[in-house]
Amino acid sequence: MRIPIETFTLDNGLRVTLSEDHTAPIVAVNLWYHVGSANERAGRTGFAHLFEHMLFQGSENVGSNEHFELIQRAGGTLNGSTWLDRTNYYETVPSHQFALALWLEADRMGRLLPAMTQQKLDTQRDVVKNERRWSVDNQPYGTWWERIPALAFPPTHPFHHSLIGSMEDLTAASLDDVRAFFSTYYTPDNAVLTIAGDFDPAEAKSLVERYFGPIKRGRGKPPLPDLSLPARFDSPPREVVPDDVRVPRVYITFRSPTYGSDGYYAASVAAAVLGLKKGSRLHRSLVRDQQLASEASAFTFDLAKGADLLIVDVTARPGISADNLERAVVAEIDRFMLEGASEAEVERAVALIETEFVSSLQSAGDRADKLSMFATYLGDPSRINTHVDRFRAVTASEVARFARERLGPAHRATLVYQVKVGDLVGVDA
Amino acid sequence: MTAAPPRPTPASPRPYRFPAFERRELSNGVRLVIAPVTKLPVVSIVAVIDAGAALDPAGSEGLALLTARALVEGAAGLTERAERLGTELDVDADWDTALLNLTVLSERTDEALGLLGEILTGPKFPEREIERLKGERLAEILQLRAEPRGLADEMLGRFVYASDARYSHPEGGSEVSISRISRNDVLEFYEARYAPGRVTLIVVGDVAAGDVETMAEAALGGWSKGSGAPKAPAPDTVARQTRAVHIVTKADAPQSELRVGQVGVPRSHPDYFAITIMNAVLGGLFSSRINLNLREKHGYTYGANSSFDWRRAAGPFSVSSAVQSDVTDKALAEVFREIMRIRTEPVSDDERSLATSYLDGVFPIKYETASQIATALANLVIYDYPADFYDQYRPRVRAVTAAEILRAAQQHLDPSRMQVVVVGEPDAIAGPIERLGLGPVATYDDTGRPL
C-alpha cells in the first residue's frame, strides 16, 4: 500500500500536497494553519479557538453562516478544530464541487476581515463560553485536559495554559485582537493545503494558483520561545481535585519524545503496551484480574514540539478509593519499568496501531488531514508512507529501555479526581 | 487585499453506486452478505445476531447486553489473540440486535473469521467474568448520575414511554435488574437466541466472495443448533398523553441539559423519507432552524439538534441541547416555537432543497470505508430493507416535497404530548420554566426519584 503524493509550493509560500484516489467521486480539502493556543498572548487564553469560530462567520464574498450552508447544499461535510500548536479547517465534497471548497477556503484566507463585526464576535464568544461549560465545566472529570498540560508544562511554557480559555480572557477578546491574529498567523506561508481524492491534478493546480496565488505572504510571526523540556520534573507535580464525580480517577502523565521524532515510536508503542484496548497491561491487571478499575487506558497526546505527553488514565470501580487505585496504577508502571515488555506484547501493540492507521486512510478526509499533519509537523507529507514501518521497527528492548529511562517516579505528574464529599450517596463501599 | 475570483459553479456530478454485494448461505443456515471493495487492504466484518435488548425478559433488563459482552470472556486469551491480529473485539447489544464488529488487514481475514466462529459457537461464560461484567455495568450506571448528557437521554426514555414499556428502561439495564441477573440467565438467553438461523455475517473489503464463503464455512459451518426462536417481536411503545416538565437535579450546574421529546415512529414507517427531510430542516443539520436559532442567533448553546432514534419499533424523537442555566426558559420557548412553526407553515424551497441536496450529495461520503459499508448492509438485514434500498435512497430523498414535509410534521410531532427533561440546578431554573406554562413541573434526584 502506497499513498500517491505530489507536492508544490506557491510563490507566496503556501505548501500544497495532492493525493489522487479515484475509487469514489469524493474530494477532501484540508488546511492546517501553524498556529494554536501556544501562540496566544498573555491575557488572551482561548483566543486561537474563538478565532477558529470566527472563520465560519463569513468573509468578503461569503455571508454569515453561508460557508456551512454552501458546503452542505453541495452535499459536503466540514468543520475545523484547534489544538495547542495548529488549527485545521476541512471539507469533504462530491468531486464535482471541489472548486467551491477551495474557493471558500481562499476567500477566508485572503479576505476575512471585511466580514468581521462586533456582533458576530459577541455571539461566538457566547457560543464558545457554552462550549467550555459543555465540554469542561459541566462534565465529570471535564477539566482533565486543561489540568494535565498545566501540571506537566511549567507556567512560562506556551503549552501550559488552557486551550479553551478562561471566561475572563474570552470576555476580554476584541475585534482588534481578531485583526492582529488574522494578519499575523492566517497567511499562506504559515499554512499547508492538502487535496485528496477524485480530482484532476492539472485542474487542481490551476485552481489553487488562481484562488490562493494572489494572497499576500505574511510578514512573519513572532517566534515561540524554546519549548524543549527535561524529561524529569524538578519536583514531581501532584494535584488532587474533589469533583462532582461518582468514582475516583487517576491520571499519571510523563513528558515523552515529540511526535514523529526518533524516540516517539518506542514511546507510543510503550503507551499501547500499557493501555491500548483490553489486552493491554493496565486493563488486564487492574480491570480484569484485580478488579480495582472500571476503565484503564494510556495514550500519547502527539505534540510535535518541545515535549509530547504520555498519559495513563484509570477510573476506579465503585467502592475503590483514590489511594488504593493510585497505588495499584503505580505498581503496574513500576513493574513495566522493571520487566519491560514481551515480544508478544509489542506485536499486539504494533498490530493494533497498524490496523487503526491503515483503516483510517480509507477516508479521504482522514487521509488529507494526516498528509497536512505530516507536512506541518515534520515538513514531509510522504511520512504517511513510512509511518507504519517505523512502528514495525520498534523492538521489545527499545520499549523496555524507554520504560526504564522515562517512567520513573521523578518523571510522573499525578492528577487525582476524588469524589467530592456530599456526593457519596449511592456508592457501594 | 486582492480582488476575488468569482464563485465557482459546479461541474456535472460523477456517477456513484453503492457497492455491489451478494448474499450466500452456509450449510447450517448462517447467512452471508459480501461486498468486495478494493481500495485499501482492509476488511470489516459485522456479525448481526437477532438477540437485542428488546428481547430482555421483564425484570432482567440488560441481559442481552451482558450476554453479548460475556461472549468474548473466558476462552483463554481470546482478547489478546484478536488484538495480535490487530483487531479489537467489539461486541455489544443495541435495542434490535447483538453486533460483533471488527476490522483487520485483509491478509488476516481467515484468522479473524476463525476467532469469530469460536466466539459465537463456544462461549464459556465463566461465573467470575459474568460477575465482573455486571460490576462494570453497575459502574457505568453509577457514573451516568453525574454525566448530564447520558442522564438526560435516559430520563427522556423513562418519561416518554409508559413504565411497563421496554423502551422506558435503559438499554443496558438498571442497578436493580443487573443485580438480579445470574450466569444461568445468560446461558439460557444464549441457548435461546444464538443460533445459526439468527446470524448474518457481513464481510466488506479487499476480499473475494468465494474465499469468504470458504473461510466462513470452515469457521461457522459446523455449528449445528435449532433455528432458534422466531424473529424478535417489536416492543410496546405506550406514550404518556399529556405534556409535563421533569427537572432532574444537578446541583450548581452551569448549564441545563435539555431534551424535548415524544414517541417517534418505527423504522419501517412509510413516511421515513419525509420525516428524515423534515427533521433535517428542523434540527438535523448545522444549518437547521433549531441550531441557527439557539446557537447562531442567540448564542445560548454550543449546539442544538433534533433526531428520530430509529429502531424496529417506535424509538423516541428528541430535541437536544445544553444551554447556559439562566436562559433555560428562553431556549425552551424557542424550541417549542420552532416545533410549532414547522407544523404550521410549509418550509421554503430553499430550506427543503438544502436538506435534500445535502442528503443526496453526501451519500457517497457516508460509505467511504469498509466499516461504514458493512454497517449499512447490517441495517439492510436488521430492518428488512429491499435489496435495492441504497440504490433508491437518493431518488427518494430528492422526491420529497414541501407538502409531504408539512404533513410529516403535523402527523409525527405533537407538542401537546411532548415531555420536557432538564438536567440542571432547580433553584436557578424551576421558577422561570413554570412561568412558561408548558405543563406541570416536577423535580427529581439524579436517579429519577421524585423530590
How large is the ipTM? 0.95
Question: Mutating which of A117, A123, A246 best tests the B interface, going by the most B Cβ atoms within 10 A?
Answer: A246
**Structure letter (DSSP) for residue B292:** I
Pair A33, A87: CB distance under 8 Å? yes
Cell numbers given for B298 = 442567540
Please report the pLDDT score of residue B226 as a whole number. 75
Do B205 and B73 share a structural domain?
yes
Pair A309, A351: CB distance under 8 Å? no
Do B324 and B256 share a structural domain?
yes
Chain centre to alpha carbon of residue B27: 32
Mean of per-residue pLDDT scores for chain A: 96
Sign of CA dihedral B281, B282, B287, B293: positive
Closest in B140, B302, B365 to A127, CB measured: B302
Do B184 and B35 share a structural domain?
yes
- Structurally, chain B folds into a number of domains equal to 2
Closest in B5, B82, B286 to A72, CB measured: B286
pLDDT higher than threshold 50 for residue B442: yes
Do B276 and B159 share a structural domain?
no
Please report the pLDDT score of residue A122 as a whole number. 95
Q: Taking the CB of residue B447, how many other CB atoms lie within 10 A of it?
A: 16
Question: Mutating which of A53, A122, A134 best tests the B interface, going by the most B Cβ atoms within 10 A?
Answer: A134
The per-residue pLDDT for range A325-368, each reduced to its tens digit, is 999 999 999 999 999 999 999 999 999 999 999 999 999 999 99
Do B28 and B124 share a structural domain?
yes
Do B109 and B190 share a structural domain?
yes
- What are the residue ranges spanned by the domains of chain A? 6-212, 238-419
Q: Do A140 and B146 touch (CB under 8 A)?
A: yes
Mean pLDDT across the stretch A99-125?
Answer: 97
The per-residue pLDDT for range B395-431, each reduced to its tens digit, is 999 999 999 999 999 999 999 999 999 999 999 999 9
Answer whether residue B451 is part of any domain: no
Closest in A210, A317, A359 to B103, CB measured: A359
The per-residue pLDDT for range B343-366, each reduced to its tens digit, is 999 999 999 999 999 999 999 999
pLDDT higher than threshold 60 for residue B94: yes
Question: Which residues of chain B neighbour A111 with C-beta distances below 8 Å?
Answer: 1-2, 4
Mean of per-residue pLDDT scores for chain B: 95
Residue range(s) defining the domain that contains residue B78: 22-220
Which is it for strands A413-419 and A238-243: parallel, antiparallel or unpaired? Answer: parallel
Tell which residue, A307, A287, A405, A395, has the closest CA to residue B135.
A287
Give the full edge-to-edge strand order of the sheet including B90-93: B22-25, B31-36, B199-205, B42-49, B98-105, B90-93
The nearest CA of chain B is from the CA of A22 a distance in Å of: 9
pLDDT higher than threshold 60 for residue B165: yes
Q: Do A355 and B286 touch (CB under 8 A)?
A: no
pLDDT higher than threshold 70 for residue B227: no
Answer whether residue B377 is part of any domain: yes
Answer whether residue B105 is part of any domain: yes
Rounded-to-integer distance, Cα B26 and Cα B384, Å: 20
Answer whether residue B355 is part of any domain: yes
Answer whether residue B202 is part of any domain: yes
Q: Do B13 and A69 touch (CB under 8 A)?
A: no
Tell which residue, B182, B384, B376, B365, has the closest CA to residue B267.
B384
Answer whether residue B8 is part of any domain: no
pLDDT higher than threshold 80 for residue A399: yes
Give me the phi and psi of B226, to 5 degrees please. -50, 165
Q: Does A424 touch chain B (CB under 8 A)?
A: no
Answer whether residue B5 is part of any domain: no
CATH number of the domain located at residue range(s) A6-212 in this protein? 3.30.830.10
pLDDT higher than threshold 60 for residue A427: no
Place of cell 511520512: A383
Please report the pLDDT score of residue B255 as a whole number. 96
pLDDT higher than threshold 90 for residue B75: no
Chain centre to alpha carbon of residue B164: 22
Mean pLDDT across the stretch A273-279?
Answer: 97
CATH number at residue B89: 3.30.830.10
Closest in A123, A198, A278 to B296, CB measured: A123
Would you identify the CATH topology of the domain A238-419?
A: Cytochrome Bc1 Complex; Chain A, domain 1 (3.30.830)
pLDDT higher than threshold 60 for residue A426: no
Size of interface A-B (CB pairs under 8 A): 236
**Structure letter (DSSP) for residue B125:** -
| Residue A421: exposure state from Cβ atoms within 10 A (0-12, 13-18, ≥19) | exposed
Place of cell 448462517: B30
Question: Which residues of chain A neighbour B103 with C-beta distances below 8 Å?
Answer: 355, 359
Do B295 and B149 share a structural domain?
no
Please report the pLDDT score of residue B235 as a whole number. 72
The nearest CA of chain B is from the CA of A391 a distance in Å of: 13
Q: Identify the band that residue A425 occupies on the pLDDT scale cut at 50, 70 and 90.
A: very low
Please report the pLDDT score of residue B225 as a whole number. 82
Cell numbers given for A366 = 482522514
3-state helix, strand, coil in chain B (%, to 5): 45, 20, 35
Rounded-to-integer distance, Cα A10 and Cα A208, Å: 9
pLDDT higher than threshold 70 for residue A428: no
Q: Do domains A6-212 and A238-419 have the same CATH topology?
A: yes
pLDDT higher than threshold 50 for residue A397: yes
Please name the residues in contact with B222: beta carbons below 8 A apart, sequence gap of 6 or more.
Answer: B28, B121
Question: Mutating which of B295, B302, B305, B373 best tests the A interface, going by the most A Cβ atoms within 10 A?
Answer: B302
A11-50 b/e (C-beta count within 10 Å ≥ 16 → b): ebebbbbbbbbeebbbbbbbbbbbbbbbbbeeebbbbbbb
The per-residue pLDDT for range B103-154, each reduced to its tens digit, is 999 999 999 999 999 999 999 999 999 999 999 999 999 999 999 999 999 9
Residues comprising chain A, all counted: 429
Question: Mutating which of B12, B176, B287 best tests the A interface, going by the most A Cβ atoms within 10 A?
Answer: B287
Do B420 and B296 share a structural domain?
yes
Do B253 and B216 share a structural domain?
no
Pair B211, B34: CB distance under 8 Å? no
Answer whether residue B201 is part of any domain: yes
Chain centre to alpha carbon of residue B439: 30
Q: Do B83 and A287 touch (CB under 8 A)?
A: no
Do B200 and B251 share a structural domain?
no
Closest in B142, B252, B323 to A318, CB measured: B142
In the stretch 91-110 of chain A, residues with CB closer than 8 A to chain B read: 92-97, 99-100, 103, 106-107, 110
Please report the pLDDT score of residue B163 as a whole number. 87
